[in-house]
Chains A and B, each alone.
Chain A
Amino acid sequence: MNSLPPSFNPHPDQEPFALSEADRLCLSCGLQEISQWKHQGPEAPALSPALLRQVSAKKPVAWSRYAYVMAAALALLFMFVQVAKQDLSPDPKDLQSGHILVDSALHDSVMLLDEDPNEDSIQTVSMKDESTHEQAGQAALQRLDPIPGLAASGLTARQIAMQRGRLTMTEWQGPKARTSFLGGVAEQPKTTRGLEDLLTA
């Protein structure tokens, strides 16, 4: 057994942490002196007015004072919700065929237009059922133009769009839209108007 017995003492002639008599004699005066230091030495300086002001500044602020802050926060929240609720999706009539629209601002749907630009050809896949835009885009492609083995291919909608060369993927990110186009469109419109111009060009 490796553990030491409870009574183990590396110095059997001494209690643990016991000082020898010689040590005690040498120390007694020193400790006597140290005990006097509490009463000897510099006095604490007077409290500075700045420090006292800091104490009074710690007074808790009345709840009424927080009302302004809370009102401002609520107003900001309301504005944020209003902006978030805006329908950022472009009007389908503005879109041309062969576009996938990935709405990444609202994270709710992916639309895909067929060659024939009428409303019936718009395929919408709910993002709630798909974990990523890419998967949603792929699902939209499957619905519109089923390709055997597409789902198993592991290709993303972006890759498929690039391969087919006729699709444009548009990613929307809020009012200041960041769009990335695949399929030959080079410009990056910053607003809905810009997107519209680009798509009808």
Chain B
Amino acid sequence: MNQPAPLSSLSDEALMPLIARGQELAFEELYRRHGTRLMRYFYRMLHRDEARAQDLLQDWCIRVVNHAGRFNSKQAFLPWAYTIAGNLLKNEYRRRSVRSIVTVVEEPGRLQEPIQEWKDSLDMEAFRRALHFALDQDLSPEHREVLLLRFMEELPLKDIALIAGCSEGTVKSRLFYALKKLSSALAAFHPCPETPSQDLLNSTI
């Protein structure tokens, strides 16, 4: 007698029809694989608001469950999943004024202190704070989206274009301008507090 394949051996795409048929275990398996990843993506996109990231993750789960029947198993799961996440984020940005929330994020001191003095007290923590600040304040949601999808989620440009609903050329353009802004925001930290990895950039755009 043939035993059904264990859920852990099935691909994401193969799990979706099972979820559509109401198999809780299939959804648990999918959540185990991607829940934390999506949670961290929401967390970064929402300026490290953990409570709100949890809410959006919950909404994401509900949407996946409700639309599982419409998922085309010939398409890849991850772009579909991130498209849902992107739509939820767009709704969230629309719903609330992100700017008013971001302004309470602590300024890392680049305006208050002289650059030289700041450089003297440079450490990795200050660098991280500056990076977060630049990401939250300097980048638009569209730029932040492509930047995180490319460098945090390490998705290919083709998938990012699907998720963002634009052409690959537009993704490249957004990446370019996002990186330019990030670069100018981090210029004060050159040379970096840690040894940089050039490989990451070489394959970027």
A interface residues (Cβ-Cβ under 8 A, vs B): 17, 19, 22-35, 37-38, 40-45, 47-48, 51-52, 54-60
Contact = CB atoms under 8 A, between A and B. Distances in A.
A54 B65 contact: yes
A26 B19 contact: no
B205 interface: yes
Of A23, A28, A48, A59, which is in contact with the most chain B CB atoms at under 10 Å from its CB?
A: A28
A4 B173 CA distance: 19
A197 to B, nearest CB: 58
B89 to A, nearest CB: 16
A34 B40 CA distance: 11
Nearest to B50: A42
Contact of B22 (A41, A47, A60): A60
A55 B173 CA distance: 40
B45 to A, nearest CB: 11
Contacts of B44: 37, 41
A172 B193 CA distance: 89
Main secondary structure of the interface of B (DSSP, over half): helix
Contacts, number: 143
Interface residues of B, number: 63
B112 to A, nearest CB: 21
Contacts of A48: 58
A141 B192 CA distance: 98
Interface stretch (B1-9, B79-87, B100-108, B180-188): B180-188
A66 B134 CA distance: 56
Interface string B32-57: 00011111100110000010011001
B192 A42 contact: no
Contact of A26 (B61, B68, B148, B183): B183
Given A25-B196, A43-B36, A38 B65 contact: no
A52 B192 contact: no
A27 B198 contact: no
A36 B22 CA distance: 35
The 10 A-B pairs with the shortest beta carbon distances in the complex, nearest first, are A59-B22, A28-B196, A29-B192, A44-B35, A23-B183, A41-B40, A44-B39, A17-B176, A44-B36, A26-B183
Interface in B168-205: 172-173, 175-176, 179-180, 182-184, 186-187, 189-194, 196-198, 200-201, 204-205
